Amino acid sequence: MAHVKLADMSKTYGPIMYLKLGARGLLVASTPQAAYTFFKTLDSNFSNRPSCAFGTHAMYNSQDMVFGKYGKQWMLLRKLSNLHMFCGKAIEDWTNVRRLELGHMLQAMYKSSTQGEPVVLTEMLGYAIANIISQVAMSKRVFVTKSTESDEFKDMIAEAMLLAGMFDIGDFVPSIAWMDLHGNIKRMKSLNNRFDPIFKRIVKERITTKHERKEKPDLLDALIDCMDNNPLADQGVELTETNIKALILDLFIAGGDTTSGSIEWALAEMMINPSILSRAQAEMDQQYAETLRKHPSVALNLRESIEPCELNGYYIPKGTRVSVNIWAIGRDPNVWENPLEFNPDRFLTEKNAAIDLSGGSGNNFELKPFGAGRRICPGERMGIVLLEYILGTPVHSFEWKVPDGEKLNMEETFGLAIRKSVPLAAIVTPCLPPSAYAVV
Residue 348 sits at φ, ψ, to 5 deg, of -95, -15
Which one, 17 or 251, has the nearer CB to ligand HEM?
251
Please give the angle made by the CA atoms of 222, 228 and 230, to the nearest 5 degrees: 75
Closest residue to ligand HEM in the complex (CB)? 371
Q: Examine residue 371 and tell whether it contacts ligand HEM (CB under 6 A).
A: yes
Of residues 31, 37, 62, 259, which one binds ligand HEM by CB under 6 A? 259
| Nearer residue to ligand HEM within complex by CB, 239 or 427 | 239
Distance CA 126, CA 261 (A): 9
Report if residue 250 touches ligand HEM, rule: CB under 6 A: yes
Question: Is residue 329 a contact point for ligand HEM (CB under 6 A)?
Answer: no
Q: By C-beta, is 163 or 427 nearer to ligand HEM? A: 163
Contact between 177 and 170 under an 8 Å Cβ cutoff? The reply is yes
Residues 6+ apart with CB under 8 A from 405: none
d(CA 257, CA 270): 19
Q: In whole angstroms, how close is the CB of 373 to ligand HEM at the nearest point?
A: 6
Integer Cα distance of 248 and 375 in angstroms: 18
Question: Which of 301, 320, 343, 352 lies at the binding interface for ligand HEM (CB under 6 A)?
Answer: 301
Beta strands in 269-368 (DSSP E): 303-304, 309-311, 314-316, 321-324
Among 52, 66, 119, 329, binds ligand HEM (CB under 6 A): 66
Q: Which of 309, 335, 376, 410 binds ligand HEM (CB under 6 A)?
A: 376
CA–CA gap between residue 170 and residue 397 (Å, rounded): 48
User: Is 377 annotated as belonging to a binding site?
Assistant: yes
Stretch that binds ligand HEM, among 205-213, 233-241, 340-348, 370-378 (CB under 6 A): 370-378
Please give the biggest Cα pair distance in the chain.
66
Q: By CB under 6 A, name the one of 160, 185, 276, 298 that touches ligand HEM.
A: 298
Q: Are 40 and 373 in contact (CB under 8 A)?
A: yes
Spatial separation of the C-alpha atoms in residues 336 and 342, rounded to whole Å? 11
In the complex, minimum distance from the CB of residue 359 to ligand HEM, in angstroms, rounded to a whole number: 8
Q: Which is nearer to ligand HEM, 78 or 182 (CB)?
A: 78
Q: Give the residue from 255, 223, 228, 240 showing the smallest Cα distance to 66.
A: 255
Sign of CA dihedral 82, 85, 90, 92: negative
CB of 46 vs ligand HEM, minimal distance in Å = 9
Nearer residue to ligand HEM within complex by CB, 199 or 437: 199
Taking the CA atoms of residue 240, residue 241, residue 247 and residue 248 in that order, the dihedral angle to the nearest 10 degrees is 160
Task: Establish if 394 lies at the interface with ligand HEM (CB under 6 A).
Answer: no
Q: Among 15, 50, 170, 379, which residue interacts with ligand HEM (rule: CB under 6 A)?
A: 379
Closer to ligand HEM by CB, 112 or 139: give it. Answer: 139
Q: Do residues 60 and 245 touch, judged by C-beta distance below 8 A? A: yes
Q: Which of residues 226-245 bind ligand HEM (CB under 6 A)?
A: none
User: Which range touches ligand HEM (CB under 6 A), out of 101-109, 204-212, 297-305, 334-342?
Assistant: 297-305
Residue 344 near ligand HEM by CB under 6 A: no
CA distance readout (Å), 53 to 78, 144, 286: 23, 33, 38
Please, what is the minimum distance in Å from the beta carbon of residue 207 to ligand HEM? 23
Q: Which stretch binds ligand HEM (CB under 6 A): 25-33, 96-104, 165-173, 376-384?
A: 376-384
User: Cα dist. 438→102, 125, 177, 360, 389 in Å?
Assistant: 11, 18, 53, 36, 17
How many residues bind ligand HEM (CB under 6 A)? The answer is: 29
Closer CB to ligand HEM, 15 or 379, in the complex: 379
Smallest separation, CB 4 to ligand HEM (Å): 17
Provide the 8-state DSSP code for 21: E
Stretch that binds ligand HEM, among 157-165, 248-256, 349-357, 432-440 (CB under 6 A): 248-256
Whichever of 32 and 180 has its CB closer to ligand HEM, that residue is 32
Give the span between the Cα atoms of 225 and 223, in whole angstroms: 5
d(CA 46, CA 372): 11
Residue 311 sits at φ, ψ, to 5 deg, of -135, 120
Shorter beta-carbon distance to ligand HEM: residue 258 or 320: 258
A 10 A CB-CB count for 105 gives 22
Binding to ligand HEM, residues 107-166 (CB under 6 A): 133
Annotated binding site: 377
Residues in touch with ligand HEM (CB under 6 A): 65-66, 78, 133, 250-251, 254-255, 258-259, 262, 296-298, 301, 303, 369-373, 375-379, 382-383, 387
Annotated binding site for heme: 377
